[in-house]
Homo-oligomer: A and B are copies of this chain.
Amino acid sequence: MHSPRAAEQSAVLRRPLCLQPASRAPRGAAGAAALQWQMDAALPDENAMNPAEHNRFMARAIALAVENVRKGLGGPFGCVVVKDGQIVAEGANRVTSANDPTAHAEIVAIREACRVLGHFQLTGCDLYTSCEPCPMCLGAIYWARPARVFYAGTAEDAAQAGFDDVDILRELQQPPVRRRIPMQQIMREPALEAFRLWQQKPDKVAY
């Protein structure tokens, strides 16, 4: 884990997180609360963004979360999707008010951003969410493929407030037959027909 090779791989993996040259990183206790993200190295200038911009977008996601609880519309979660420095979609958790267990803030914001942008991918977008995404929302993020994700509260904060995120991730790591919601395979052979048709389809739209 601590070989030079592993450290090198880690540095490569972490590079996209860097938002501006380290020499411009804010220092000192005064800036620490508002600017908790860490910078490791430089991104090209065209990708640099003033830290205040990140904070402004996250502040909006947090305001959506707070407003959502006050209005009684769902859980304490908000999210915004940003493209080219503009908010293109907002979302808040509407599970209980919309009778939709998938209506987490991130899913609501992703669906709305895709509607606005007219595409099923969030290429070049950033997602700001008031809490670390649950496994469902993480999966949705991978399918939507935004450039970056910023989150504020952690999965542990969510767990302390009574949300199952960590527990669900543990379940996903179990083989299907060992999960709390039992999952059983039947009829694999006939199901393969759909995959055969898909692979043979000349005009399919991959995603």
Interface residues of A (CB under 8 A from B): 10, 13-14, 16-17, 33-38, 54-55, 58-59, 62, 65-66, 68-70, 72, 75-78, 95-96, 98-102, 104, 107, 110-111, 114-115, 118-122, 130-132, 134-154, 157-158, 160-162, 164, 168-169, 171-173, 176-195, 197-199, 201, 203-207
B contact residues around A38 at 8 Å (CB): 184
Tallying the copies of this chain within the complex gives: 2
Taking the closest CB of chain B, its distance from the CB of A102, in whole angstroms, is: 5
Closest Cβ neighbor of A193 among chain B residues: B66
Tell me the nearest residue of chain B to A145, going by C-beta.
B181
- Known: A76-B198, A136-B143. Is A150-B184 also a contact (CB below 8 A)? yes
B17 touches A177 (CB 8 A): yes
A33 proximity list for chain B (CB < 8 A): 187, 189
Chain B residues with CB under 8 Å of A110's CB are: 101-102
